[in-house]
Chain A
Amino acid sequence: NAGVIQTPRHKVTGKGQEATLWCEPISGHSAVFWYRQTIVQGLEFLTYFRNQAPIDDSGMPKERFSAQMPNQSHSTLKIQSTQPQDSAVYLCASSTRDWGGCTGQLYFGEGSKLTVL
């Protein structure tokens, strides 16, 4: 089992450019989560999918950020017109948790470090 795979591991963009981050969850996991990690804000929840359907995007900035899960083997997080404050490590996690069911652990990828100059 390769674990959750995130690409790229590092991305540097100029202000105003677009950044797309990819996540491949663990095979068979029904839920995929995106978090953002910074020194100041810590680990912030962004959005999550269950069985590819978007369930909760309450943590996503309303402008410029979007996430998709076109199939069960990958999810993307896209940031349009990147700003320096978007610089962070973006973490993807997958889980076997079911809606309203037993709490399952999150398996995190190693993250994508985004630097916006």
Chain B
Amino acid sequence: SQWGEENLQALSIQEGEDVTMNCSYKTYTTVVHWYRQDSGRGPALIILIRSNEREKRSGRLRATLDTSSQSSSLSITAAQCEDTAVYFCATEMPNYNVLYFGSGTKLTVEP
């Protein structure tokens, strides 16, 4: 596997809390994608960060990328019930168009 994590992780938080999800990868990459998957749907891209950005924000989302430690994180500020989903990070090797997905984090936001 291109990824270090092997098992789906689960997080449960209360509405209004902040949460950070982490993933690590084994091979060199210049970009990390973060996708969210709602129950019964396909994954959808929520944020993409390139190696020259280190940090990227989109609304309540914040992604970071540390190429030296080969890790990325996704933070959600003031989580809401509708943020409940499975979140995946994905990456590819340069000039190789296939995205490989991590095992994902199942986030549950409770009211």
> A residues engaging B (CB < 8 A)?
4, 31, 33, 35, 39, 42-43, 45, 48, 50, 55-56, 91, 93, 97, 99-100, 103, 105-111
A108 and B99 contact, Cβ closer than 8 Å, known pairs A39-B8, A43-B88, A103-B31: no
Residues of B within 8 A of A110 (CB): 40-42
Q: Contact at B45–A31, with CB atoms within 8 Å?
A: no
Give the bracket for the number of chain B residues in contact with chain A: 20 to 34
Task: Tally A-B pairs: CB < 8 A.
Answer: 55
Residue B95 is within 8 A (CB to CB) of chain A in the complex: yes
Minimal Cβ-Cβ distance residue in B for A41: B103
* Of A55, A56, A100, A109, the contact of B42 (CB 8 Å cutoff): A109
Chain B window 31-70, contacts with chain A (Cβ cutoff 8 Å), 1 for yes, 0 for no: 1010100001111110010000000000000000000000
Q: In the docked arrangement, what's the CA distance between A91 and B44, Å?
A: 12
Which residues in B have some Cβ–Cβ distance to A below 8 Å? 8, 31, 33, 35, 40-45, 48, 88, 92, 95, 97-104
- Considering the complex, give the chain B residue whose CB is closest to the CB of A100: B95
> What does DSSP make chain A's interface, helix, strand, loop or mixed?
strand
B8 engages A108 (CB within 8 Å): no
Chain A residue nearest to B6 in the complex (CB): A42
A42 touches B42 (CB 8 A): no
